[in-house]
Chains A and B, each alone.
Chain A
């Protein structure tokens, strides 16, 4: 099998972030919320505090590790919600057609016209800031591409011989969709899901940065950056490490998505954008 640098580098980076998140309680030096000590406020990176400390004297390394948990939770769960919504709507619209297809098409066009961050922002107005609200907001705003893809795949697959054979055998519509159509469109959907996860991590960080996501003192990378703005001149390391963590996570996911696309959807390789 051909060596794919993007797949390997992306996989290693993303695996590193997952390991950091899972083993945060063992890898962290201090409690990310409780261990604030003004005596150590704005300490530069060194042997005691690897990434330095923030304005409250909290260890940034420990907070960055715990921040991985929030980012990964939001990225994975919200993208799962998006994928389930997109696949259910797109698959059923493509397979059934008719008024349902028209309705789903209209809904998708409407969603594509609203920038997802703006829509998520609007949802956060209604819900109280917090992890659950973030999952709902980001899980409801980014399904349209998956829906389009699932619909297009269902449209082309439903006339295939094996689908017709399943119909003749008396399979119900839902069974045909789940056992005949879905497995054959899974590759591109996994690719979109992986790339969408990176987008969700960025969106979570942006909303938390604006004070509408995870609220301090919980260590979300976005809210850490929001807190760090005032110390940018005196303690720039407070801004550097959480930002770097977001960058590495999203880069890993983007490379992984690209690598998976090369394998699962080889035709897309040349038209890749």
Chain B
């Protein structure tokens, strides 16, 4: 198992390096981006003397390949550079925002899993029934909803009209503040999980081993528990892993809408302020989280399904 984890980590390394290189090239080689990023509007040209001083301060007067070498060396020591705006280390700025994003991502995925997976199971066990039709119509609608619009409507209904929940903010970690953004963010993965679970269970129901189990006289509850659930779990877990990454990516809009102090709102603010080192660092950390979660899912799948070899 350990060698499997090490191998998966090593497989992720080239992707991380490629993403780091891509981000570096995107923001460094394109002329004017770094040099003009400190101006008020982030685009107009600064005084030549000021620009030269800033370029020296941030090491931007070195040739591109030297800068890339320094960048990679910094990354190897988890140094993501210094924020252009606050002059704080980017790693510290990001570290402060990681926990709120993790809370939001876990809460929205928990909401999606707790409702989506059972709904998919029920729909698959009664194909063609009214519950199957309603849940699948709901699922395709959930996938089509713009998250920020749903968030806005939830905010209007539950916070402003009914006054049941706080409308926005972090509330110092008060869990009531987590509910509306999590639901808004969790509806799309819920819909996808419901559809995936239904499709996976329907597929397995037609498998030979399920037919054999039934013909041997195994009770339906045992067929569901021992055969359907365990076999569907690998597909469901893989979808959960992929959706985790999507949720972290999509959180930018929801965090901004609900003034949630996470990585997504940091990224959007840094984009608006053109704080390039923070933008680069945030994207890299989001990619790392995505790869890490998918690696964990692979390991879990290998534990659950003995047919998956540790190779």
Contacts and interface: CB of A to CB of B under 8 A. Distances in A.
Contact of A126 (B33, B199, B200, B245): B33
Query: In this complex, which of A124, A209, A254 has the most chain B Cβ atoms within 10 angstroms of its Cβ?
Result: A209
Query: In this complex, which of B195, B196, B249 has the most chain A Cβ atoms within 10 angstroms of its Cβ?
Result: B249
Contact of A250 (B146, B248, B256): B146
Given A115-B249, A117-B250, A225-B148, A106 B286 contact: no
Contacts of A239: 149, 152-153, 156
Interface SS of chain B: helix
Interface string A115-127: 1111101111110
A113 B15 CA distance: 8
Contacts of A110: 15, 18-19, 22
Interface string B7-49: 0000000110011001100110010010000000001000000
B102 to A, nearest CB: 16
Number of chain B interface residues as a range: 35 or more
A106 B22 CA distance: 13
Query: In this complex, which of B26, B141, B248, B253 has the most chain A Cβ atoms within 10 angstroms of its Cβ?
Result: B253
Given A125-B274, A273-B239, A118 B267 contact: yes
Contacts of A147: none
B283 interface: yes
A211 B30 CA distance: 22
Interface string B45-89: 000000000000000000000000000000000000000000000
Given A212-B271, A250-B146, A106 B249 contact: no
A265 B144 CA distance: 22
A209 B274 contact: no
A229 interface: yes
Contacts of B271: 121-122, 124-125, 212
Nearest to B193: A273
Query: In this complex, which of A118, A202, A212, A270 has the most chain B Cβ atoms within 10 angstroms of its Cβ?
Result: A118
A254 B144 contact: yes
A236 B156 contact: yes
Given A229-B152, A232-B152, A270-B202, A115 B18 contact: no
Given A243-B153, A255-B140, A118 B148 contact: no
Contact of B196 (A121, A206, A212, A273): A273
Interface string B204-243: 0010000000000000000000000000000000010000
Number of chain A interface residues as a range: 35 or more
Contact of A273 (B14, B195, B276): B195
Nearest to B150: A243
Interface in A222-257: 222, 225, 228-229, 232-233, 236, 239-240, 242-243, 246-247, 250-251, 253-255
Interface string B139-159: 011011111110011011000
Interface of A: 6, 106, 109-110, 113-119, 121-126, 128, 198, 202, 205-206, 209-212, 222, 225, 228-229, 232-233, 236, 239-240, 242-243, 246-247, 250-251, 253-255, 258, 270-273
Interface of B: 14-15, 18-19, 22-23, 26-27, 30, 33, 43, 140-141, 143-149, 152-153, 155-156, 160, 192, 195-196, 199-200, 202-203, 206, 239, 245-246, 248-250, 252-253, 256-257, 267-268, 271-272, 274, 276, 279, 283, 286-287, 290-291
